[in-house]
């Protein structure tokens, strides 16, 4: 059995590349990296990689993470500038025993030393969005402007599972801000003996529930990924509303070690993509349930 699930429709072309690898008995690490790179490289996705929308200082600062569910090793970068594929830097960092989560200049220094490709990630199109936004009077930070963070969970024929994320975070965020995406247990988590999960939405709220780790724990207790996703999202949504009167946008995907998958959201339109041995990459749209 193999399979891969991803947040948002924009991941479809990436999953087609992953499918080629997985159906030829390839590695879950190679498949997920390739799939995320495809999203990072596409200039019109406004919240991932090249073309990602900038922070309030008009700098594109990117977050990404990679986790190997066999070894539980993690690599992540936060607020990294001027490198083409943050996911590949995160994966490289996952081979380190210590110093595997690096931010800003530290991450850039590591990437430079390791020979990763430097690239100005700010496009003309992103600059136009920035200048238009500066003219607006209401400047509330929102997670979903166009497309959104890419998060994936992958299972290969050997039973190895991986999880990964990549994002430019919230448009107009403060310099140095990171969200849930590079934070283990919040934006992603995977254990090959159980399954994995990944999140998208308002990082500040997703982190309050360590939502990806929560989903994996629920699956470990025997819950189907669908039930685990629903419980994690709706419990956190309710808790935040009870304690603070409102909850940010929360959307999650999950897959267990049998290739069963789940998804849940508290927003009105969350798209995700799934690819399985009997199913080419297929896009679905879900709405808040209940």
Q: For ligand SD4, what does the binding mask look like between residues 220 and 259, x meaning CB under 6 A?
A: ----------------------------------------
> Which of 91-99, 163-171, 212-220, 259-267 is the region at the interface with ligand SD4 (rule: CB under 6 A)?
163-171
Q: Which is nearer to ligand SD4, 223 or 253 (CB)?
A: 253
By CB under 6 A, name the one of 88, 94, 123, 167 that touches ligand SD4. Answer: 167
Task: Give, as ranges, the residues between 171 and 210 that touch ligand SD4 (CB under 6 A).
Answer: 179-181, 200-203
By CB under 6 A, name the one of 8, 66, 144, 234 that touches ligand SD4. Answer: 144
111 by DSSP, 3-state: which?
helix
Q: Which is nearer to ligand SD4, 200 or 212 (CB)?
A: 200
Task: Give, as ranges, the residues between 124 and 143 that touch ligand SD4 (CB under 6 A).
Answer: 143
Give the integer Cα–Cα distance in Å for 135 and 139.
Answer: 9
Are 213 and 221 spatial neighbours (Cβ–Cβ below 8 Å)? Answer: no
Q: Which is nearer to ligand SD4, 111 or 202 (CB)?
A: 202
Query: How distant is the alpha carbon of residue 152 from its chain centre?
Result: 6
Q: Is 266 near ligand SD4 (CB under 6 A)? A: no
* β-bridge partners, 253: 198, 263
Q: How far lies 196's CA from each of 118, 162, 167, 193, 261, in Å?
A: 31, 7, 19, 10, 10
Q: Which is nearer to ligand SD4, 22 or 74 (CB)?
A: 74
Tokens 């995907």 sit on residue = 253
Give the integer Cα–Cα distance in Å for 121 and 229.
Answer: 33
Give the integer Cα–Cα distance in Å for 34 and 121.
Answer: 19
- Smallest gap, in angstroms, from Cβ of residue 147 to ligand SD4? 9
Q: Is 169 near ligand SD4 (CB under 6 A)? A: yes
Q: Which residues are catalytic?
A: 149
Q: Is 69 near ligand SD4 (CB under 6 A)? A: no
Give the integer Cα–Cα distance in Å for 227 and 223.
Answer: 6
240 by DSSP, 3-state: which?
helix
Structure tokens at 113: 């030393």
Q: Which is nearer to ligand SD4, 156 or 180 (CB)?
A: 180
Structure tokens at 134: 């500066």
By CB under 6 A, name the one of 149, 214, 256, 271 that touches ligand SD4. Answer: 149
83 by DSSP, 3-state: which?
strand
Q: Which is nearer to ligand SD4, 21 or 101 (CB)?
A: 101
Give the integer Cα–Cα distance in Å for 44 and 104.
Answer: 24
Give the integer Cα–Cα distance in Å for 189 and 68.
Answer: 9
Q: Which stretches of the chain bind ligand SD4, using CB under 6 A?
A: 143-144, 148-149, 167, 169-170, 179-181, 200-203
């Amino acid at each position: 059995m193999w399979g891969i699930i991803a947040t948002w429709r924009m991941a479809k072309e990436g999953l087609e590349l992953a499918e080629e690898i997985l159906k030829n008995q390839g590695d879950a690490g190679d498949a997920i990296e390739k799939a995320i790179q495809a999203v990072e490289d596409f200039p019109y996705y406004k919240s991932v990689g090249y073309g990602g929308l900038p922070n309030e200082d008009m700098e594109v600062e990117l977050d990404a993470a990679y986790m190997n569910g066999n070894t539980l090793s993690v690599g992540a970068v936060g607020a990294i500038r001027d490198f083409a594929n943050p996911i590949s830097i995160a994966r490289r960092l996952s081979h380190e025993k210590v110093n595997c989560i690096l931010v800003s200049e530290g991450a850039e220094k590591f990437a430079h030393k390791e020979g990763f490709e430097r690239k100005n990630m700010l496009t003309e199109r992103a600059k136009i969005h920035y200048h238009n936004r500066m003219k607006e009077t209401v400047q509330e930070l929102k997670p979903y402007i166009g497309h959104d963070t890419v998060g994936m969970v992958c299972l290969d024929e050997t039973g190895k599972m991986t999880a990964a994320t990549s994002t430019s975070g919230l448009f107009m965020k403060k310099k140095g801000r990171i969200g849930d995406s590079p934070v283990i247990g919040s934006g992603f988590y995977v254990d090959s003996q159980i399954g994995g999960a990944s999140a998208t939405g308002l990082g500040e709220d997703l982190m309050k529930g360590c939502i990806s780790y929560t989903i994996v724990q629920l699956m470990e207790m025997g819950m189907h990924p669908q039930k685990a996703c629903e419980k994690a999202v709706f419990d956190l949504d309710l808790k935040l509303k009870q304690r603070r009167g409102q909850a940010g946008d929360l959307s999650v995907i999950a897959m267990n070690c049998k290739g069963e998958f789940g998804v849940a959201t508290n927003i009105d339109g969350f798209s995700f993509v799934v690819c399985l041995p009997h199913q080419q990459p297929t896009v679905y749209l879900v709405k808040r349930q209940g």
